[in-house]
Amino acid sequence: MATMTTRRNINIDGLQVQTDLHQLKELSNKLNLATRRPSVVQWKQFLSTAVSGQHDDATIKAIENPTKNENTEDVSARYRRVGQMFEKLRRDLVIMRIEDNKLARKLLDVRSEMNLVRAQKSCAEHADMLDDVTIELEEEEELTGLIKGKPTSLLSAFSPLRNIGVSRMNLNRRRFSIR
C-alpha cells in the first residue's frame, strides 16, 4: 500500500524513496563540494563548537554580528560596484544597438541595390528580345516584299511573334484602335 508522507518523500511498502534533495546532498558529499560563504562557514564552526561544548565569545559574536566580519564588504561599496557594472552594460548595449542599426541599414542598401540590378537586367533582356523581334519582322517584311504570290500557309507558319506567345487571335485591330 503506497502512502505519501510529504510532497517529495514517498513511502512505498515500507521502502523510503530518495528525493531530489537527498540525491543532491549525496552527490555534493561525494564530490566534496562545499560553500565558501562566510556566514555558512561561521555557522558550521559554531555548530561544531556547540557539539563539542566549547563556546568562546568570539565565535558567538561572529555568528550574531556577521556584518562586522572582516571578510564581508561594505554594503555601499557593493552597491556602487553593481551600479558601475550596470552602467557599463548599458553603454555596451547602446553601442551594440547602434552597430545593429548600422548593419541593418547596410543590409537594406544591399537589398535595394540587388533589386535595382535585377530590374536593370530584366529591362536589358526585354530590350534585347524586342530588338530580336523587330529584326525578325523587318526580315520577314523584306522577304514577303520579294514574293509576289504569298502563300498563306507559309506566312502563317513563319511568325516570329509566335515564339513569345502572340498569335493572330490576340492581335485584333478592334482591340488596338486609335480612337
Each residue's pLDDT expressed in tens, for the chain with a length of 179 residues: 444 444 455 555 555 656 777 777 788 888 877 777 778 778 878 888 877 766 555 555 655 555 554 445 677 888 888 899 999 999 999 999 999 999 999 999 999 999 999 999 999 999 899 999 889 888 888 877 776 665 565 555 556 666 666 665 555 555 555 54
Q: Is the pTM for the entire model greater than 0.85?
A: no
Q: Using DSSP, how many helices (H) and how many strands (E) does the chain show?
A: 5, 3
Nearest 10 degrees: CA dihedral of 65, 70, 71, 72?
60
Phi, psi of 51 (to 5 degrees): -70, -40
The residue extents of the domains of the chain are: 1-33, 35-72, 74-146
